[in-house]
Structure 1
Amino acid sequence: MMKRRSFIKKGTTVASLLGLSTSTLHAINLTSKDKNTATHNYKMNFAPHLGMFKHHAGKDPIDQLNFMADLGFTAYEDNGMKKRTVELQEKMSQTMVKRNITMGVFVAHKIDWKTPSLTSGKINIRNKFLSDIKESVEVAKRVNAKWITVVPGHVDLKQDINYQTAHVIETLKQASSILEPHGITMVLEPLNFYNHPGQFLSDSPQAYQICKAVNSPSCKILFDIYHQQIQEGNLIPNINKTWDEIAYFQIGDNPGRNEPTTGEINYKNIFKHIHNKGFKGVLGMEHGNSIDGIAGEKAIIKAYKETSNF
């Protein structure tokens, strides 16, 4: 135990002298022993999230961001960023700027999973949503985010689907007018029926129709490959058909919603296709680790190296 403490103390001192974070030093030490943790030049902007590499980097968000950068990841997403303290948001933003990490999405509003929200057409619900969007603008500016996630909410069983669609479109038009001056894009996320039964927005063609109707650079599609594999399959053709309205991708294999190579989705072909179409945006790693601990984190790194090697 004393030898280990002595090593950590000496390592921290060396890191300080060299201007490195302790997580960077830890990554260097691991790299000398395991090629899986070596820095990699990814062809695409894959975005891990907090907790994905906690066994390597520790619990501190700044150390985790540094470790992601040490591995070669160039983006980061954080669904819960809006709930973090302003102080932590600012620290994370400074770290991302320093390490050349692009900030991906965070959830822009409170999502109602069980009762109608934007589909209802109720003015008080619309106004609350628009208030959430205004708050999200301030968070986005603080953390240099260009995309925020929006989910229209549960279906309204008492209204025809076409009326619901009209209500959603009108609300999103008003939200777009708030976002456009700031160059921020809300990305609409269709959700599959199996994990999120009763949600209004479930299909990529439906999202495409809504974005065309809103007709704003601030209203685009978040194409979550995991959700759409369950909901509709036919992934590459649907990506092609909705391409001009897609601003963001998210990743997860099926079944299990874990890293690529753990399920049925041919992510190597999908990544190659998206890359060859010229996508320069962020692909959020919104999935779990199929294996616990250090081994699971190494498995994620290995999976992304393999599937992006084309």
Structure 2
Amino acid sequence: MKRILITGAAGFLGSHLCDRFIKEGFFVIGMDNFITGDFKNIKHLENHPCFEFIEYDVTEYITIQNNLDYILHFASPASPIDYLKIPIQTLKVGSLGTHNLLGLAKAKKARLLIASTSEVYGDPLVHPQTEDYYGNVNTIGPRGVYDEAKRFQESITMAYHRFHGLETRIARIFNTYGPRMRLNDGRVIPAFIGQALRGEDLTVFGDGLQTRSFCYVDDQVEAIYRLLLSDYVNPVNIGNPDEITIKDFAEEIINLTQANQKIIYKALPIDDPLQRQPDISLAKELLNWSPKVNRKEGMQKTFNYFKNFSQEELFKSDHKDFSNHIKK
């Protein structure tokens, strides 16, 4: 039985990856320090014979008993609210955490896939974004802590590949959504759905003409699985190229939830990307992959997940107190 370590295992995407690799016959070791993850995402695996969980901070030195065949590094704050509130921890998990996992992969002779992001492109001047575009990132802006953590993560991963011959893979992940997202974490989809279910007006930043492209989690997981088992070492865009403006998307949410709310507009945050659309030609060619779940279907599944939340959950602040995770 192949053994795989998945960091960020209690997070949205990490927990779905745990499910998929167990289904594929792997023994999964999940790791998370719950700085943004939630145990409820993996509670169903608590007593599974092919799952082991370790509560741990990957920015500390990592040891794993016995052999290890693969590592998926998905530990990182991924929403603006989180990485603006814990900027140093965001930088550390992308740098020190990645360095530790590269060292572990080298020691275990394991293949490592890192979760990079479309944010390495910043506010892009090229549209749609291709893997050979270097990006337009403000290194000292408030979003720079996340963008630069991921850019460094890619650089050190390629350095280990070139210098040590380590088997590495890089997934550049575009906006992904589905069940187990945190309701009020600041990302577009859970923010809109949460506002609709609470009877609040939907908040759109700027004029709403900025674009996003949303990929359903099952499609994302499928692509990551194929990329890990592929022979390609350079970055690969993984996302859904079906682009939509935020204003139009807000209208879709109102229609989906049958809410009677209106859209209100607020100032656009600093360095918020105006366009986001992946060119997935490389993923189609290398992985024989393209998204299968359209936005209407995916959003219905996501809404069905959230609409079962209790009133307490709907109105509970998701802005975590990170004090227990921050070293003084």
**Larger proportion of helix:** 1
Q: Same fold (TM over 0.5)?
A: no
State TM-score, norm by structure 1.
0.34
Max Rg structure: 1
**Larger proportion of strand:** 2
